[in-house]
Chain A
Amino acid sequence: MTTASAPKGRKKINWAPYLLILPSLFYLTLFFGWPMVQGLILAVKEDGALLTLHSEADRTSTLAGQLPRGIQVGILNRQGNTIPQEELGQSNLLTEVWFRIRGQDTKGQLIEGWTPEQRIRVRESDESGRPVTGSVRSILSSSADPLTRIYAEADEDSQVAGQMEARTPVEILDQATLEVWFLIRGKYEDGTLEGWVPSHYIRAQGDGTQGRIEQGDTSQFTTKYIQRMVNDRFFWPALRTTLLLIVLIIPVQFVLAIIMALVIQANLKGSGLFLYIFSIALGVSDLAVGILWYSIFTQSGYLNSILQGLGLIDAPLIYLSADTRYWILIAIWLAELWRATALVMVIVVAGMQAISREVLEAAEVFGANLWQRVRFIILPLLRPSLQVALILRTILAFQVFAVVIVLGGGDILTVLANETYRQYYDQRNVNVAAAYASFILLLSMITSLFYLRAVRTQEEVAE
């Protein structure tokens, strides 16, 4: 495109155009560039793949290594720990409550300190349900220490502030909710790791000495989702059908589109009407087109009605079933030809309008027939338009979706975009869905580069 009328560039930088394109740049980065990158990352990155072990039951303590999600671990010890504010709302937290109490210790002195909730029987609560007074529970086991320890902090490792006898009345001053941490030991890569982790990452089993790492806290790059996609039983059929449809549709479509364009460019009376009719399909959704062709191919549809009306069949045939996959393929082929040829046609017409009339007239005067004019003048001059149309059409063909769902039922005959949808919607597997989407992106880019290269080398050969 030339902008002959644009003002000449001046020495001083003109900021106006940059300000004008800024909103669209911003918007496209936010809603196009960024999600695209995120989509690729989703396909190769597993959230919570690894669980970080700490050397002590404390988030700030030194790290003791990482264990992968899903392995069995032994639970060696447990301990309460203060919860970071942002995790308080989580529902799966295993917590214990500690009370800060005031009461007489064994020596008769009034002391203050922390003790686990289960050591205290609450006697009175205020209106809001907060415990106010209570008494120390007795320890039933005969072998255990009959005295209850009171700690300086809400932590069993902290200094012991004193001891209390059973049934000592106490005032409850405060309470703290602690998250339980587990000391776990697990085998990983021929070594054994041991360390403290918050208990909500672990699902304890049996008597509570064994468990399984449910969820990690660190993400990791993985080929797992890609493997799951490739091993999915629908992957190869979907890829095969998608490619087959492209190979079947695009050549026929381009021939048809060029014929349509020639009809419009012939400048007949009523070519405006032709243009309207030919481009109707441009505005029709693929879902509607799928339904349109379904009305023809369904068992009580138009195809059977016409065939029966002509006396060619006695009873309606079944086209769209698992036993007649080729009919589904034919129906999708016709529907896509019907729908998407308009797009190619419009691009080709736009390209033809750029071909100078004199060249064509000269060719005609010198006796070139229609085929010669198309083959030696129109097609070579149309090459840039055809290239763009090819790229666009192929990329759209990789995404064919609703037509296939309507005509192929979604699982009899399936395509890549349909598998993306199925993984997201039915399987609830965002990562594998992202892997499918990334695969479509990859295929689109490869074919685009292929078209660009193929056309360029042809031009180089021509020179």
Chain B
Amino acid sequence: MTTLLDAQKPVVQVSPEVKAIHRRMLRRQRLGRALTYLIGILISLWVLVPILFITSMALTTPAEVRAYPKSILPFIPLSTATMEFFLNSKGILPGLRNSIVVAVITLVLSILIAAPAGYALSRFLFRGRDVFRLAILAVRAFPIVILSIPLAVVFLQTGIYDSVYSLALMHTALALPTTILVLSSVFSSIPYELEEAAMVFGCSPAQAFRYVVLPLVMPGIAASAIFTFVLSWNEVFAATILTIQNRTLPAQVLVTLNQSSEPYQFAGGFFMMIPALIFIFFIRRYLFNMWGQISK
């Protein structure tokens, strides 16, 4: 678990007792490491096996999906028939389009609004900064369920109910607190001295931001954007309440769940999981920035 012992390779004469202790500790360390691997692999199986199950259901024939007992061996026979059946079902392709539109608008809006606030939080010590931070943390911790009902009423009254744009407005509100905190930590990771140096060499503050800070924070902003996309893509409660005709993909799957067949359900579950599998891989190093921030 530690490299301290390796670094202390005996350079001078040591007594046999010390060597024995050393050996014992090394053995214990190896044992501990093996145990850690074992636990890690067990937990990985706990995470991966259900995913393997649903993936193999989605990538086989509908007949095989309905079959019992199912073969534990995955992807037999391998087929895109179930996925095609799902994607050609009524409301799925429009739902997919709506989901993407909502998620993209949410992503753009929340980054545009959150980036200045995140920059202010990381670069300025201003009166009310702590209050602002606390307020954002509090907002992050409020249940979102309570937002959907009154927003539905207001959207109905103003005539923007059942629209992807109003849903995107709502999702932006959900994503904004986290995005602000994440971007603030991303900006904090860039030393202010870099900006200062640029200004010493004759850049205006805006230029220093544009040519020095922006290129450095782009990966962090991209990670945050991806996370916002996934958040909007996954959100189902508000989407079901705020839309009727223009349903997003999760809302469409949820409301048709009772009348649908198992191939449809499994293919839908798998399809909704794909962005998570891809995007989490790209942003895994930023996860602690994102969620660790909240606990500080």
| A positions within 8 Å CB-CB of B | 1, 3, 5-9, 14, 16-21, 23-25, 27-28, 31-32, 35-36, 38-40, 42, 256, 259-260, 262-263, 266-268, 271-272, 274-288, 290-296, 298-302, 304-306, 308-309, 316, 338, 343, 346-347, 349-351, 353, 360-361, 364-365, 370, 384-385, 387-389, 391-392, 395, 398-399, 401-402, 405-406, 409-410, 417, 420-421, 424-425, 430, 433-434, 437-438, 440-441, 444, 448
- Contact between A259 and B39 (Cβ–Cβ < 8 Å)? yes
Closest 5 CB pairs of A and B: A350-B292, A291-B269, A283-B276, A285-B234, A5-B192
- Contact between A441 and B143 (Cβ–Cβ < 8 Å)? yes
- Contact between A9 and B43 (Cβ–Cβ < 8 Å)? no
In whole angstroms, how far apart are the Cα atoms of A291 and B254 in the complex? Answer: 10
In whole angstroms, how far apart are the Cα atoms of A134 and B286 in the complex? Answer: 83
- Contact between A35 and B43 (Cβ–Cβ < 8 Å)? no
What is the size, in residues, of chain B's interface with A at 8 Å between Cβ atoms? 109
- Which chain B residues numbered 277 to 296 have a C-beta less than 8 Å away from chain A? 277, 279-281, 284, 287-288, 290-296
- Contact between A347 and B292 (Cβ–Cβ < 8 Å)? yes
A21-B117, A23-B112 provided; 6 other pairs, C-beta below 8 A?
Answer: A285-B235, A287-B253, A295-B54, A300-B70, A304-B69, A433-B149
- Contact between A268 and B37 (Cβ–Cβ < 8 Å)? yes
In whole angstroms, how far apart are the Cα atoms of A16 and B116 in the complex? Answer: 10
Give the residue of A32, A283, A365 whose beta carbon is less than 8 angstroms from that of B4: A365
- Which chain B residues numbered 128 to 168 have a C-beta less than 8 Å away from chain A? 129, 132, 135-136, 139-154
B45-53, B90-98, B216-224: which one contacts chain A?
B45-53
Q: Across the interface, which residues of B come within 8 angstroms of A281, CB to CB? A: 47, 276
- Contact between A21 and B295 (Cβ–Cβ < 8 Å)? no
- Contact between B114 and A36 (Cβ–Cβ < 8 Å)? no
Give the residue of B70, B240, B265 whose beta carbon is less than 8 angstroms from that of A305: B70
Query: Do A388 and B72 contact each other (CB < 8 Å), given the known contacts A21-B116, A284-B276?
Result: no
- Contact between B276 and A280 (Cβ–Cβ < 8 Å)? yes
In whole angstroms, how far apart are the Cα atoms of A347 and B116 in the complex? Answer: 25
- Chain B: which residue is nearest A256 at the CB level? B43
Q: How far is the CB of B220 from chain A (nearest CB, A)?
A: 15
Q: Across the interface, which residues of B come within 8 angstroms of A38, CB to CB? A: 150, 153-154
Total contacts A-B at CB 8 Å: 331
- Which chain B residues numbered 222 to 280 have a C-beta less than 8 Å away from chain A? 230, 233-237, 240-241, 250, 253-254, 257-258, 262, 265-266, 268-270, 272-273, 275-277, 279-280
- Contact between A3 and B125 (Cβ–Cβ < 8 Å)? yes
In whole angstroms, how far apart are the Cα atoms of A7 and B123 in the complex? Answer: 7
Q: Across the interface, which residues of B come within 8 angstroms of A5, CB to CB? A: 191-193
- Contact between B143 and A295 (Cβ–Cβ < 8 Å)? no
In whole angstroms, how far apart are the Cα atoms of A290 and B254 in the complex? Answer: 10
Can you give 12 A-B contacts (C-beta < 8 A)? Answer: A3-B188, A9-B126, A18-B126, A36-B147, A262-B36, A282-B287, A288-B270, A300-B68, A300-B262, A353-B288, A395-B143, A430-B153
